[in-house]
Amino acid sequence: MTRPDQSGSVLEVFSAFLKLGLTAFGGPIAHLGYFHSEFVERRRWLSEAAYAELIALCQFLPGPASSQVGFALGMQRAGLPGGLAAWTAFTLPSAALLVFFASLASQMDSPMAQSALHGLKLVAVVVVAHALWGMAQKLCPDRSRAAIALAALVLVTLLASAATQLAVIAMGATLGLLCCSPSAPQEAAAPSYRVSRGVGACCLATFVILLLGLPTAYLGGVSPGAQLFDAFYRAGAMVFGGGHVVLPLLEAQVVDSGWVGEDAFLAGYGAAQAVPGPLFTFAAYLGAVGTPLGGLSGATVALLGIFVPGLLLLVGVMPFWNQWRQHRLAYPAMAGANAAVVGLLAATLYHPVWTSAVLTHGDFAIAAAGFVMLLVWRTPAWLVVLTTVAARVLLDVV
């Protein structure tokens, strides 16, 4: 078997992730499917087993899982500059679109605009279903892991909450210890992220200092920007599961404080689901429309605030993770955890992706056609997006 290529340039990383930042619809778990297709199957930057381990690591950490995986992939390819390039390229397109939407929010209530947004939600159905198909085949190849995925699906569907998502992943790891083989495949070698224990410890210390120190600091009367950064930093530091789980945390920070009105908050959240890239870029919209800063400055501060804690934690645990994964019990635990991730993906496909998008027989027909285009005909993702949106707009016109 050919070994994955583990050296590259920052420009190569930026270019690869910029394409995904412009086309990766479907939410955080769907993004993992995009990453798998691009970096494991096509570019061969790392092996199947190493990618599965990376997903397990990021699922256990607070923060935006897909962005953490992307940052780690960039680091594995081109060091810390590569990680920053990956994050920047994957994040900026959706952040820019949401800042633009914030400036035009009052004009987005026309029937044509609503039809286009609905079409983008149908794109999410197609992409999540495609990701589920691919990841289930690879991460649930036997009865034990299929049973773990099914249990995760049932629990998350019936008891939808951030705590349930975290408990389900922990449950998957525990069941993996009991049901999965204790020996890892020969190819399961974790890629090198070139992070020393000292750097890791500094990142973990910085995470704690900012989490505990920022609230104390602004009580003494610091700038409005520091208050805004602290509000989004705490949301990013406390959310497990990423994606839609961040909604109640951000609402508590910006709506309850009076910075953003509830109507504007919900309008922006709907737009965030219709753009590619990480859902956490919803923070850019909130920073742009709300006080204490607003505009581009507010968007930038909010965007950094919500992403920084998850990236600090990721880099902080990397050197320790590489050692832990060599333990004989590490592989079955990660195998079970990744099977649980498949269950989370299936639950996400049902709600909120399917329930918010497939409302009519026409919606179902459009989503089914898009799925066939992506899976069977291997149509480029951007063309599936354009076709699906155009079909939904046309359906409303006629």
Domains of the chain, residue spans: 13-104+142-181+195-349
The model's confidence at residue 4, banded by pLDDT at 50, 70 and 90, is very low
pLDDT of residue 202: 95
Contact 34, 105 (CB under 8 A): no
Distance CA 360, CA 160 (A): 25
Is residue 186 scored above 50 in pLDDT? Answer: no
Contact 352, 274 (CB under 8 A): no
Distance CA 322, CA 95 (A): 32
The model's confidence at residue 261, banded by pLDDT at 50, 70 and 90, is confident
Q: Which residue has the higher pLDDT, 118 or 92?
A: 92
The model's confidence at residue 297, banded by pLDDT at 50, 70 and 90, is very high
Q: What sign does the CA torsion over 300, 216, 58, 352 have?
A: negative
Please list, in sequence order, all residues whose beta carbon lies within 8 angstroms of the beta carbon of residue 23, skipping any fewer than 6 positions away: 34, 276, 381, 382, 385
Tell the residue number behind the tokens 């790891």, with chain if given.
173
The contacts found for 79-87 with CB under 8 angstroms, 24 or more apart, are 79/194, 80/194, 81/10, 82/8, 82/10, 82/13, 83/311, 83/315, 85/10, 85/11, 85/13, 85/14, 85/17, 86/13, 86/14, 86/16, 86/17, 87/17, 87/307, 87/311
Least confident stretch, 173-177, 233-237, 242-246: 242-246
Contact 134, 342 (CB under 8 A): no
Both tokens assigned to 151: 């249990």
Q: What sign does the CA torsion over 44, 48, 50, 55 have?
A: positive
Least confident stretch, 1-5, 130-134, 193-197: 1-5
The mean per-residue pLDDT over the stretch 293-312 comes to 93
Both tokens assigned to 215: 């609230």
Is residue 206 scored above 90 in pLDDT? Answer: yes
Strands annotated E in the chain: none
Contact 239, 62 (CB under 8 A): yes
pLDDT of residue 90: 97
The model's confidence at residue 215, banded by pLDDT at 50, 70 and 90, is low
pLDDT of residue 191: 57
Least confident stretch, 84-98, 257-271, 355-369: 257-271
The mean per-residue pLDDT over the stretch 145-158 comes to 92
pLDDT of residue 255: 79
Q: Which residue has the higher pLDDT, 298 or 238?
A: 298
pLDDT cut 70: percent of the chain above it: 82
Is residue 2 scored above 50 in pLDDT? Answer: no
pLDDT of residue 185: 45
Distance CA 355, CA 161 (A): 17
Say how many C-beta atoms besides its own lie within 10 A of residue 240's C-beta.
Answer: 18
The mean per-residue pLDDT over the stretch 25-29 comes to 71
Is residue 270 scored above 70 in pLDDT? Answer: no
Contact 185, 377 (CB under 8 A): no
Summarize pLDDT for 303-341 with one digit per residue, the tens: 999 999 999 999 999 888 766 766 667 678 878 888 887
Is residue 167 scored above 90 in pLDDT? Answer: no
Distance CA 307, CA 125 (A): 26
Is residue 163 scored above 80 in pLDDT? Answer: no
Is residue 218 scored above 60 in pLDDT? Answer: no
The mean per-residue pLDDT over the stretch 134-159 comes to 89
pLDDT of residue 101: 83
Least confident stretch, 28-42, 152-166, 196-210, 286-300: 152-166
